[in-house]
Amino acid sequence: MPSISERGLNMPASPIRKLVPFAEKARSEGKKIYHLNIGQPDIETPPEMLQAVKDADIKVLEYSHSAGFESYRKGLVGYYQQFGIEVSHEEILITTGGSEAALFGLMSCLDDGDEIIIPEPFYANYNGFAIAGKINIKPINSTIETAFALPPISDFENMITEETKAIMICNPNNPTGYLYSKEELEQLREIVLKHDLFLFADEVYREFAYDGREHTSVLTLEGLENHAVVIDSISKRYSACGARVGALVTKNKAVYSAALKFAQARLSPPTLAQIAAEAGLKVGKDYFDAVKEEYVERRNLVVEALNNMDGVICPSPGGAFYTIARLPIDDADAFCQWLLESFEYKGQTVMLAPATGFYATPGSGRHEVRIAYVLNKEELANAMECLAEALKVYPGQVNMLEPIMATYS
């Protein structure tokens, strides 16, 4: 039998999805599962987006332009302007989800053996795109003690080598929910200019900035025209994860042109979903205000409930719809599996994502889980009650904070 590739072997299973078989078993046993493991919101997709697909008079479901509908790209120019981002439609490449934007961006800028620095914990799927291209991710630890703020810029300086080609952030952050400040971004601006690096920013949660704070795009930072590459998506913006429409946005013409060649090789992004995405451009401020208000209430509920549990630490994140909590447990992977396999409370349990999969440094995140607050408040309250009960009876409890802290020293 021929052997598969090293990269196929090295590819990690998704930490968000790898417990799915245990969840399927739990469900088949009649347990109700609260899915806080995946960023699949219950918020309704704006109906006008789905209606646009129904109204489309299509005889032949054709390829679109490899860069996506020109009309949609022109519409996006106005969308970005609302955020102070000035780009032309020829600087926007429509992709099949933000995932493909990350893949094309990395492939266009980095070769095998090149290094990209990413604060950890980070969105686990970046590993997949890096492994596909044999690109080395160099993690810099951000910690729950600082609510996962940008690590000191000296940590980045120390990590830069001849092989370093880029720094990447996700802002607001998945999995931590941290919203980087303008000041933090200015620090990144300086270091990428100093070392002539690319600055990738995954900004798919742009709309989800809370407590009156504003999101800053790397595309608005002065002098970064040739350095900034933005990964974008409509998945979270409109609760339209299944559409698979994203975008790569950059003013660097060489990067755009290389990414377009990768885009041509896969022909085009999905046509039906682009119709929905284009209709989404007309979705008004009211929708986003209501969604944001809902998420802030959910965040407050979850963060308060977590911090009320014995031995649990959870910072209050400024954006996105995730939070990382440190729990008094021996092993997050074992705990999350145990929740599905061996625990129930009033016929219910909770599915969480072990944080280990979001760290590149072995051993990190062993006492942490990522929680996506993507369910309604009633369900979230039930889920938190479930989790509180679970922590009381979990056999692998670690009683106090000391032994956990030891692992961080």
Please give the residues from 245 up to 304 whose contact with its own copies meets the rule CB under 8 A: 252, 254-255, 258-259, 261-262, 264-273, 276
- Least CB distance from residue 59 to its own copies, whole Å? 5
Give me the residue label for tokens 């020829």.
90
7: helix, coil or strand? helix
Piece of the chain touching its own copies by CB under 8 A; list 108-116, 177-185, 345-353, 392-400 = 108-116
- Measured over the CA atoms of residue 56, residue 57, residue 62 and residue 68, the dihedral's sign is negative
Residue 401 to residues 79, 181, 305, 327, 359, Cα–Cα distance (Å): 46, 30, 18, 9, 21
- Least CB distance from residue 199 to its own copies, whole Å? 9
Could you say whether residue 371 binds its own copies (CB under 8 A)? Answer: no
- Least CB distance from residue 149 to its own copies, whole Å? 26
Considering only residues 180 to 199 of the shown chain, the ones binding its own copies according to CB under 8 A are 196-198
Query: Which residue of 27, 134, 138, 377 would you call a contact of its own copies, by CB under 8 A?
Result: 134
103 or 168: whose CB is closer to its own copies?
Answer: 103
Could you say whether residue 132 binds its own copies (CB under 8 A)? Answer: yes
256 or 394: whose CB is closer to its own copies?
Answer: 256
- Least CB distance from residue 93 to its own copies, whole Å? 13
Considering only residues 49 to 68 of the shown chain, the ones binding its own copies according to CB under 8 A are 49-50, 53-54, 58-64, 66
- Least CB distance from residue 262 to its own copies, whole Å? 6
Q: What is the DSSP track for 239-284?
A: T-GGG--EEEEES-HHHHHHHHHHHHHT----HHHHHHHHHHTT--
Cis peptide before 175 (omega within 30 of 0): yes
What are residue 323's DSSP bridge partners? 371
9 or 406: whose CB is closer to its own copies?
Answer: 9
- Least CB distance from residue 337 to its own copies, whole Å? 17
Helix, strand, coil percentages for the chain (3-state, nearest 5): 45, 15, 40
Burial class (CB in 10 A: 0-12, 13-18, 19+), 250: buried
Query: Which residue of 111, 145, 157, 211 would you call a contact of its own copies, by CB under 8 A?
Result: 111
- Least CB distance from residue 130 to its own copies, whole Å? 10
Residue 21 to residues 14, 16, 25, 49, Cα–Cα distance (Å): 13, 12, 6, 33
Nearest-angstrom CA–CA distance, 391 and 404:
15
Could you say whether residue 313 binds its own copies (CB under 8 A)? Answer: no
Q: Residue 68 corresponds to which tokens in the numbers above?
A: 């996506």
Considering only residues 68 to 97 of the shown chain, the ones binding its own copies according to CB under 8 A are 96-97
